[in-house]
Chains A and B, each alone.
Chain A
Amino acid sequence: MYKLATEKLPELLQCWSQGATVYVPQKVGEVTLFRPFKGQGDLALGEGNTLEPPKDLFFPRTEKLYDYWASGKEARLEPVELHPDRAVLVGVRSCDARSFLLLDQVFLTRGYVDEFYKKRRENTAVVALACTQAAPTCFCTSFGIDPGRAEGVDVQMWPVPGGYLLEALTPRGEEMLKQASGLLAPAEGEKIPAPAQPSLQVELEGLVEKLQKMFDHPYWGELSRKCLGCAICTYLCPTCHCFDIDCETIETSGYRFRCWDTCLFAHYTLMAGGRNPRPTRKERLRNRLLHKLQYFVERYGQFACVGCGRCLELCPVNVDITKVIRDVKEVSL
């Protein structure tokens, strides 16, 4: 374990910037976002989680799949080069680190490997930052996540008075600490700070079994009356991963791309011919919640919620997933 003095943080980021782009939470306007470190900028490593989850590093909002060209009877496809750049993601909280493992399930397992995702994931080192204080909306511990120690990351950082403690957890992480050895001092007698203790908690026992019997329950209709059908709770959720594929053609050439989509939008399930199997917000909101709390568990054995609290904090009408979980346990079938 090593210690980094607070004032050396920019130098550390500079050091990791050699041959890679470092993404780190920064104040942008009134919000905090992962942004490329450019030597300056308003670093925001002390203040809870970022507005946007870091998932777009691996699963960009829009990603080109291939270029095409067609004229008369001739046509040509040109594959795009898979994202070759190296990146270092610094300041990832335990909840978001878990979300990467869930996204891995979706994009890398069950017989299909998404090469675009895989390449970005492989090329990105993840440095986690432990939470010592939770926001009122945090409930990660309910999903067995330790806010003080992230899973599947290369380096773990802890905030301590005067700086940070760092520990490498993978060979890549060790390499990174070696690269920065001039800035680090052995952490002797330093104690790892106690992890945050989120006060918000949910009880998950029996939830899936109950939900399996609730598809047609009037609860969803009641719940969705206030929902606006926007994309805040899906686009800003670290585990939501739906996309659409479309193309942009100008005259004889164009490109095919994929971009984020959301089950809360009406056109997500709109069929050619105009039929929509999820015609109202009731079916759409139900889908979002069942996907997180039932379908994902049935397929991958884990909940697709990491308790980051973003949807709870940002939903304009306070659709609260923790309340939904409590309600579901109570409604009569």
Chain B
Amino acid sequence: MSLQDKMRERARELLESGAVNMVIGWEKGTFWYLSPPAFITTPEEADRLVWDEFCLNNLSKYLLDYRNTDDKIALFVKGCDSRNVVRLLQDNQFPRERLYLLGIKCPGLKDSRAASLLGEEKRAELPLAPKCVGCTHPEPVIYDELLEAGVSGDLGSPEKRFEDVEKIEAMSYDERYAFWVNAYARCIRCYACRNVCPACDCRECIFDRTQTGWCGKQMGLTQNMFFAITRALHVAGRCTECGECERVCPQRLPIMTLNRKIIKELNALFGPYEAGVSLEAKPPVVEYRPDDPDFEERR
């Protein structure tokens, strides 16, 4: 049985038995290279679910929409997505009892933008999705049951994680400044990068409090840079590198480079840490430790 059939079968069973009242997965979109989120609430609809190389959306973000309801939700999670579930559980954003996790051993997904340009004849030769390139955990770290993708694709290589960061680090200060100014001058502050991010779980975002004077509504480089830096720092220690922010950015800004720079610095300052890999390990900027290297240094 293919993974897709298995997904449909399990969704149907879970809804029929009443174990959950909603299954969040993926379905086929407008074009062959799009597999957007699907919300299944009746057993009959389970056949809408699909699994293919374009199931890119990280569905864990949607848990926040149901945090104050009684809904019992079954969620399909790839490796990266599962780490965001761990993060949300750690932040008490969703009760584990109302959640059923269907883990998928991810074979590595494909770049849908490249697909749209190359055409369906080249389907077999598509490059790995940029967000999968530095993947360290294709297998879910938390689940109630695990489904196998069957085919093994070409997985990312973790040693490539910091390649882009190192390129920027090799630049002079002026070059780096010019690089980021050039990029974020184009940001349209559509906030898609924030809205898609499962680490952004604040009830009210600083950028929605436009009357406070922290960041005005004007579209300008100052505001854009303030947004870029603040967003990146707000997810420090919580970013699981699922790459959704960079994937959805219409301007294709190198958002993950910013996130990974912070991860690299956190590793250097507080010791190696990967967000959302374990329920027990506390994020470095959340925990207080007297033997913290940073603390020692300042003393």
Interface of A toward B, CB cutoff 8 Å: 28-31, 33, 51-52, 61-62, 136, 222, 225-226, 228-232, 235-236, 244, 246, 248, 257, 259-261, 265-267, 312-314, 316-318, 320, 322-323
Contact = CB atoms under 8 A, between A and B. Distances in A.
B196 A228 contact: yes
Contacts of A267: 208, 210
Contacts of A231: 188-192
Contacts of B62: 225-226
B36 interface: yes
Contact of A236 (B38, B188, B252): B188
Nearest to B251: A31
A235 B57 contact: no
Contacts of B216: 246, 248
What is the predominant secondary structure among interface residues of chain B facing chain A? loop
Contacts of B36: 226, 317-318
Contact of A246 (B38, B39, B217): B217
Contact of B57 (A52, A225, A261, A317): A317
B130 to A, nearest CB: 11
Contacts of A312: 30
Given A31-B251, A316-B57, A320-B30, A228 B195 contact: yes
Given A62-B218, A62-B220, A317-B37, A229 B188 contact: no
Nearest to A225: B39
A230 B186 contact: no
B34 A61 contact: no
A265 B218 CA distance: 15
A29 B34 contact: no
B29 interface: yes
A273 B188 CA distance: 29
B24 to A, nearest CB: 9
Given A226-B39, A246-B217, A318-B29, A236 B250 contact: yes
A29 B252 contact: yes
A226 B251 CA distance: 21
Given A248-B218, A318-B29, A320-B30, 6 more contacts: A28-B186, A225-B37, A226-B37, A265-B191, A317-B57, A320-B29
Nearest to A248: B216
Contact of A316 (B189, B248, B251): B248
Contacts of A323: 30
Contact of B252 (A30, A225, A232, A248): A30
A31 B36 CA distance: 23
Query: What 10 A-B pairs are tightest by C-beta distance, nearest first?
Result: A230-B192, A61-B219, A318-B36, A316-B248, A231-B190, A318-B29, A228-B195, A226-B37, A62-B218, A30-B252
A248 B31 CA distance: 44
A244 B251 CA distance: 23
B247 interface: yes
A267 B209 CA distance: 8
B238 to A, nearest CB: 18
A136 B31 contact: yes
A227 to B, nearest CB: 9
A25 to B, nearest CB: 15
Nearest to B32: A136
A231 B219 CA distance: 13
Contacts of B57: 316-317
A119 B151 CA distance: 60
